[in-house]
Amino acid sequence: MREATLVPEMTLIESVRETLRMEMRRDPDIFMLGEDIGPRGGVFLASEGFVDEFGEGRIMNTPLAESSIIGIALGAAVNGMRPVAEIQFADFVWPAINQLVGEAARVRYGTNGGKFAPMTVRVPYGGGVRGGLYHSQSIEVLFAHTPGLQVIAPATPWDARGLLRSAIRSNDPTVFLEHKRTYRLVRGEAPDREYTEPIGKADVKRAGSDVTLVTYGLMLHYSLQAAEMVSQSDGIETEVVDLRTLRPIDGETILDSVSQTGRAMIVQEDTGAVSVSSEVAAIIASEGFFDLDAPVNRVTAPEIPPMPFSPLQEAEYMPSPEKIAASIRRLAEV
């Protein structure tokens, strides 16, 4: 996908902002709604300066009422608009679950295609930001479990641009998860042109022949660090598969990699029980079993409510490059 020509590097939040700006300029049916997205530019500045360019009619500050943010976006979507709603923090999405999981996801199916909802819900999520119990949550599982939704979780500015554009142009409701810790931590190339990345396709971010590591979001970067660590210290070569889309999950790319390495592990920030890693493990177990030389391994958060505010406890909660590296070594030795 990447072109040989050098393109400017930008942070992930910049890639989100510039994609939103380009899409808003391209299509007058796109409008944004959410808390503090107006003159404030959103708490993460995803819409910084947008009111000046697009006006309050297309950059709508809403009351603090998440259910209606999604319900109103849904109504506008079925009536010809292409709304992009922002849920300020993933932890605040729960009041909107009914409108998103109960309603938006079922619109096309429940009307036999008579109505559909081209809407994107941007949700900053994830921890490691001293966010405590209510500014740290990983909320992807419930959405990834829901037929009728698409769930995207990019980890790089390139993918954020290509996938956000695909989400906005899609005619189905899409939850677009942006890891808060990656917003300014992660820089990368992301050109100012109208490229898209396909929804539902994983991407091999590092080639390797010994272990397949499946991950997404912030954990991609920790996993890539861990892969370099074990390569240098132990000569173990890890193939890192970035899921990028959590619904539908790209089983084919995962299984192709596992068939080469014979060893598989999944790294996620979320708690492990009944999670994305459970699903990936199930795909590998049911369709890649005879390629396996070792049991599937998982690195996840402990089974406590995410996540403690206190710094030592937060660090203990989060998977780290060191923990991931240790897990790769154990798997490679089996």
Partner 1 sequence: MSESPSDIAVEAELSLPSGLTRERLLGAYKTMCLSRVLDVRIWTLNRQGKAAIAASAQGHEAAQLGTVLATDPTRDRYLIYYRQLTAMLALGTTPTEMLMQFLARDGEILSAARQFPLHGAHPRVDLFSFSNVVGTQLPQAVGVALADKMKGRDAVTISFFGDGAASQGDCHEAMNFAGIHKVPVVFLCENNRYAISVPLEQQMPVDSIASRASSYGIPGIEVDGTDVVATYEAVKEAVDRARSGGGASLVELRVERLLPHTTDDDHTRYRSKEDIERIASMDPLPITEAMLKRQGILDQATDDEFKEWARREVDDATDEAEATPFPPVGDMYEKVLESDAGGNSRA
Residues serving a catalytic function are 135
**Closest of 234, 232, 228, 254 to residue 242, by C-alpha:** 254
CB 318 within 8 A of CB 267: no
CA-CA distances (angstroms) from residue 309 to 145, 179, 194, 218?
A: 28, 18, 40, 19
Q: Which of positions 117-146 make contact with partner 1 (CB under 8 A)?
A: 144-145
- By CB under 8 A, residue 232 contacts partner 1: no
CB 111 within 8 A of CB 153: no
| Cα end-to-end span (Å), the chain | 35
Kindly list the distances between the CA atom of residue 255 and the CA atoms of 179, 241, 298, in Å, as whole numbers in the listed order. Answer: 26, 10, 16
Q: Does 282 bind partner 1 (CB under 8 A)?
A: yes
Residue choice 13, 77, 227, 301 for contact with partner 1 (CB under 8 A): 77
Question: Does residue 52 touch partner 1 according to CB under 8 A?
Answer: no
By the rule CB under 8 A, 74 interacts with partner 1: yes
Candidates 76, 74, 45; CA nearest to 58 is: 76
Smallest separation (angstroms) from partner 1 to the CB of 116 = 7
Least spacing, CB of residue 160 vs partner 1, in Å: 22
Judged by CB under 8 A, the residue of 9, 53, 109, 295 near partner 1 is 109
Give the binding range for partner 1 (CB under 8 A) out of 126-134, 148-156, 214-222, 263-271.
148-156
Regarding 107 and contact with partner 1 (CB under 8 A), the answer is yes
Contact 175, 123 (CB under 8 A): yes
Please state whether 84 falls in left (phi above 0), alpha (psi between -120 and 50) or beta. beta
Rounded CA gap, 316 and 310, in Å? 10
Among 8, 49, 55, 110, binds partner 1 (CB under 8 A): 110
Residue with Cβ nearer partner 1 (61 or 320): 61
Q: Is 72 in the site for partner 1 (CB under 8 A)?
A: yes
**Residue from 23, 38, 46, 108 that binds partner 1 (CB under 8 A)?**
108
Minimal distance in Å, beta carbon 113 to partner 1? 4
Q: Which of residues 15-44 bind partner 1 (CB under 8 A)?
A: 31
- Residues 19, 161 contacting (CB under 8 angstroms): yes
Which listed residue (57, 193, 311, 312) binds partner 1 by CB under 8 A?
A: 57
Name which of 70 and 90 has its Cβ closer to partner 1. Answer: 70
Site for partner 1 in 237-276 (CB under 8 A): 247-249, 251-252
Smallest separation, CB 291 to partner 1 (Å): 15
In one-letter notation, the amino acid at residue 250 is D
- 290 is an interface residue for partner 1 by CB under 8 A: no
DSSP 107-155: HHHHTTTSS----EEEEEE--SSS-GGGS----HHHHHT-TT-EEE---
Interface contacts to partner 1, rule CB under 8 A: 31, 57, 60, 62-63, 65, 67-68, 70-81, 83, 95, 98-99, 102-103, 106-116, 144-145, 147-150, 170-172, 200, 247-249, 251-252, 279, 282-283, 287
